[in-house]
Chain A
C-alpha cells in the first residue's frame, strides 16, 4: 500500500557523476596528447602514421595513466593503459580498413556508371575514356560460373548434411572429418587440381566450366558443415512429433524439418556464395579472360569480375587502373549485398 507522491523521486546515475576537478583532468587527458602530437609532428616533419605510433601513443598512455592516478588512484593506471591500448589497436585496424573502403569508392566510383553494368570491354583499350565500356560481361560471367557451382554445391551439400544428421550410417564420422578437412583447401590448390586433372589430361576443353568445378570444390565443404550445424539446431521434438503423426521419414524432412531450418539453410548458401564470388586464383588458372560476353560455359573463354580486375591491372595507365578499381568496388558491393541478404534471412528464425 503506497501513498500518493508528494515529492517526486528522480532516477539518477550517481556513479557517473564526476567532480569538477575530475572532469578537468579527463578533458586534458583526452585532448592534450593529440594537440601535442600535431605540434611535434609539424615541427619535425614526421609522416602522419609514424607520428601516431611513436609520439601519440606513448603520450596518450601517459596522459591517461596520470589522469587515472589523480582521479581514481594507483588502481586506475592499468585500467587506463588497457583502455587506451584497446582503442589504439582498434583504431589502427579501423584506419587500414577505412583506407580500403575509401580507396574503393574514390578510385572506382567513376568507372561504375550505369552503362558499366551492361556494356562489355570488347572495344575498350587501356586509354579508352570511361564513358565507354563496362563490366557487364564480367557480371554475366561471374553469374554463370558461380551460378553453376552453386546449383551443384547446394543440393549436394545439403544432402550430405542430411546424411550426417538424419541417418545412422557408420560412415558419418569419416565423411564429417573429411569435409571438415577440405574446408582448408587453399583455393590455388583447388584451381591447380582441376587444371591438371581435367584440362591437362584433355578431358575438358579450356572453358568456364573448369572454373565452376574449382569453385564447387571450394564451396562444398563449407555448405556441408554449415547445413549440418543448421539441421542439428532443429529440436528433436519436432522430428518426433512428425513421426508420431505417422509421417514417413522423407515427408517428415521436407514438410517439417526443412522448413524449420530453411532460414539457416538460405543463410548458409548465401554465405557460401559470398565466399567464392571473390575467388580469383582458380579463375586465373582455369578460365581465360574474354573482353566480350560469352554465355556458354562449355566452350570458349569467359570473363569474371576477379579476372576482369586482374586483366586491367596489367596496364599501367590511369584509366585502366580506374577500371580495375571499379571492378573491385562492384565486387565489394556484390559481397555486401549477399551478406546483407544472408543476415536478413538469418533473422527469421523459428
Chain B
C-alpha cells in the first residue's frame, strides 16, 4: 500500500474542459463511471426484487427455518447461515494465529532476502484458485483430516461441539474449516504484514534500547500499536471465507439440519448450497437462491465495511 497524494483536485488550476479531444476523453470516462454505477444499481434492484418476493412468500422463516423443498415451494436457509458462520469462524481460529505468525516472521525475524521471497509467495497464494484447493481438499486432505477428527472425537468427544453420532467424519465442518483457513491465510497475512511493517521503526528502537526482548517488544509495542490494522486484516479474511464456494462444496456434506458439532459429518454453508441447488430449482427456487446470495452478500459487505474502518483508522493513526 503506497502513499498516494492527499488532496487531489486541480481546483487551483481552474482549467475548463476544452476542445473535442477533452470532451471525448472526459465524456468517455464519465460514461464508463455512470455505466458502472448503473450496473451496480441494476444488480441491486434485480437482486432486491428477487429477495423481496422470496421474503414475501417465505416470511421470516426464510432465515429461521430449516426446510428446503423446491417442489413444495418452501425455502429456508437457517442451517446454511449457521454453517457459513461456523466454518468461517473455525477457519479464522486456525488462520489468524498462523497469518500473524507469518507476518511477524517476515517483518521481524527473516533475513531480507527470505522476507522478500516469502512476501511474493504469500501474494501469489492469494490468487490460488479455489478449485485447486477443492480437488486437493477432497482427495488428499479430507481422508487425513477425518482421521484427526476421529482422534479428537475419541479423546475429547465429551465436550459439546465436538460430538459425532454417525461414526464418519468426512464432510464435517471441521474439514471445511481447515480448507477455509488455507484460503484465508494469504490475504490476512498480506494485510498484517503491511500493518506490522508500518509500525514506526523508531518505536521498536526505543523498546529495544529499553532492554526489550523480542517477545516483550512484540507484546508491549508492536501488537498494541498494530492492533486495529490486524483486526481489520482478520475481518477481511473472514469476508473472503464467507464467500468461498467451490472449495467448501467439495469437502462439506450439505444437509439442511442446524449443526454446531464441528466433527459431525454434515454441515451447511450458503455459497456452496447455491451452487449445488441451482440446477434442480424451479424459477421460484432460483429466486430464493438469489435471496440467499443476497443475504450472504450483505453479511460479507458488512464485515468488509467494518474491516475497512479498522484498517482506515489504523492508517490514519500511522500518518499522524
Contacts of B308 in A (CB 8 A): 180
The interface bits of chain A over 277-289 (1 if a CB of B lies within 8 angstroms of the residue's CB, else 0) are: 1111100110000
CB distance A47 to B147 under 8 Å?
yes
Could you show 29 A-B contacts with beta carbons less than 8 Å apart? A47-B151, A79-B214, A83-B109, A86-B105, A86-B109, A90-B101, A99-B141, A103-B139, A156-B35, A163-B29, A163-B33, A164-B33, A167-B30, A171-B33, A175-B36, A184-B239, A185-B43, A193-B43, A200-B286, A229-B4, A243-B10, A249-B15, A277-B129, A281-B246, A309-B131, A331-B132, A338-B127, A339-B124, A343-B120
Q: B60-68, B161-169, B294-302: which lies at the A interface?
A: B294-302
Q: How long is the Cα–Cα vector from A175 to B39 in the complex, in angstroms?
A: 11
Asked if B5 lies at the interface with its beta carbon under 8 angstroms from chain A, I say yes
Contacts of B136 in A (CB 8 A): 99-100, 103-104, 328
Asked if A195 lies at the interface with its beta carbon under 8 angstroms from chain B, I say yes
Asked if A251 lies at the interface with its beta carbon under 8 angstroms from chain B, I say yes
CB distance A217 to B39 under 8 Å?
yes
Asked if A34 lies at the interface with its beta carbon under 8 angstroms from chain B, I say no
What is the CB-to-nearest-CB distance from A24 to chain B, in angstroms, rounded to a whole number?
A: 23
Asked if A166 lies at the interface with its beta carbon under 8 angstroms from chain B, I say yes
Within the complex, which residue of A82, A181, A197, A313 is in contact with B218, where a contact is CB–CB below 8 Å?
A82
CB distance A184 to B243 under 8 Å?
yes
Asked if A55 lies at the interface with its beta carbon under 8 angstroms from chain B, I say no
Asked if B47 lies at the interface with its beta carbon under 8 angstroms from chain A, I say yes
Closest to B155 in A: A54
Q: Given contacts A274-B127, A278-B130, is CB(A79)–CB(B215) below 8 Å?
A: yes
> How many A residues face the partner with a CB closer than 8 A?
97
Q: Given contacts A171-B33, A187-B243, A278-B132, is CB(A232)–CB(B8) below 8 Å?
A: yes
CB distance B140 to A99 under 8 Å?
yes
Asked if A192 lies at the interface with its beta carbon under 8 angstroms from chain B, I say yes
Q: B195-203, B258-266, B271-279: which lies at the A interface?
A: B271-279
Asked if B111 lies at the interface with its beta carbon under 8 angstroms from chain A, I say no
Contacts of A278 in B (CB 8 A): 127-132
CB distance B98 to A248 under 8 Å?
no
CB distance B290 to A192 under 8 Å?
yes
Asked if B205 lies at the interface with its beta carbon under 8 angstroms from chain A, I say no
Within the complex, which residue of B2, B134, B214, B290 is in contact with A193, where a contact is CB–CB below 8 Å?
B290
Q: Given contacts A184-B243, A186-B296, A306-B129, is CB(A324)–CB(B135) below 8 Å?
A: yes
CB distance A175 to B37 under 8 Å?
yes
What is the CB-to-nearest-CB distance from A293 to chain B, in angstroms, rounded to a whole number?
A: 21
CB distance B127 to A188 under 8 Å?
no
Contacts of A78 in B (CB 8 A): 213, 215-216
Within the complex, which residue of B29, B138, B141, B218 is in contact with A162, where a contact is CB–CB below 8 Å?
B29
Q: B17-25, B75-83, B85-93, B226-234: which lies at the A interface?
A: B17-25
CB distance A179 to B36 under 8 Å?
yes
Closest to A189 in B: B293
Contacts of B29 in A (CB 8 A): 159-160, 162-163, 166-167
The interface bits of chain A over 219-254 (1 if a CB of B lies within 8 angstroms of the residue's CB, else 0) are: 010001000010011011001100100001111010
Hey, which bits of chain A sit against chain B, CB under 8 A? 47, 49-50, 75-76, 78-79, 81-83, 85-87, 89-90, 92-93, 96-97, 99-100, 103-104, 155-156, 159-160, 162-169, 171, 174-175, 178-189, 192-193, 195-197, 200, 217, 220, 224, 229, 232-233, 235-236, 239-240, 243, 248-251, 253, 271, 274-275, 277-281, 284-285, 306, 309-310, 313, 321, 324-325, 328, 331-332, 335-336, 338-339, 343
Q: How long is the Cα–Cα vector from A277 to B29 in the complex, in angstroms?
A: 27
Hey, which bits of chain B sit against chain A, CB under 8 A? 2, 4-5, 8-11, 13, 15, 17-19, 21-22, 24-26, 28-37, 39-40, 42-43, 46-47, 50, 97-98, 101-102, 104-105, 109, 120, 123-125, 127-136, 138-141, 144, 147-148, 151, 178, 182, 185, 213-216, 218, 239, 242-243, 245-246, 250, 271, 274-275, 278, 283, 286-287, 289-290, 293-294, 296-297, 300-301, 304-305, 308
CB distance B213 to A79 under 8 Å?
yes
Contacts of B131 in A (CB 8 A): 278, 280, 306, 309-310, 328, 331
Q: How long is the Cα–Cα vector from A122 to B300 in the complex, in angstroms?
A: 41
What is the CB-to-nearest-CB distance from A156 to chain B, in angstroms, rounded to a whole number?
A: 5
Q: Given contacts A78-B213, A78-B216, A185-B297, is CB(A271)–CB(B127) below 8 Å?
A: yes
Within the complex, which residue of B13, B124, B151 is in contact with A336, where a contact is CB–CB below 8 Å?
B124
Q: How long is the Cα–Cα vector from A174 to B127 in the complex, in angstroms?
A: 28
Q: Given contacts A159-B28, A200-B286, A309-B135, is CB(A331)–CB(B129) below 8 Å?
A: yes
Within the complex, which residue of B30, B132, B287 is in contact with A104, where a contact is CB–CB below 8 Å?
B132
Contacts of B274 in A (CB 8 A): 188-189, 192
What is the CB-to-nearest-CB distance from B255 to chain A, in angstroms, rounded to a whole number?
A: 19
Q: How long is the Cα–Cα vector from A163 to B318 in the complex, in angstroms?
A: 29
CB distance A81 to B297 under 8 Å?
no
Q: How long is the Cα–Cα vector from A104 to B19 in the complex, in angstroms?
A: 57
Within the complex, which residue of A188, A235, A239 is in contact with B245, where a contact is CB–CB below 8 Å?
A188
CB distance A250 to B25 under 8 Å?
yes
What is the CB-to-nearest-CB distance from A21 to chain B, in angstroms, rounded to a whole number?
A: 21
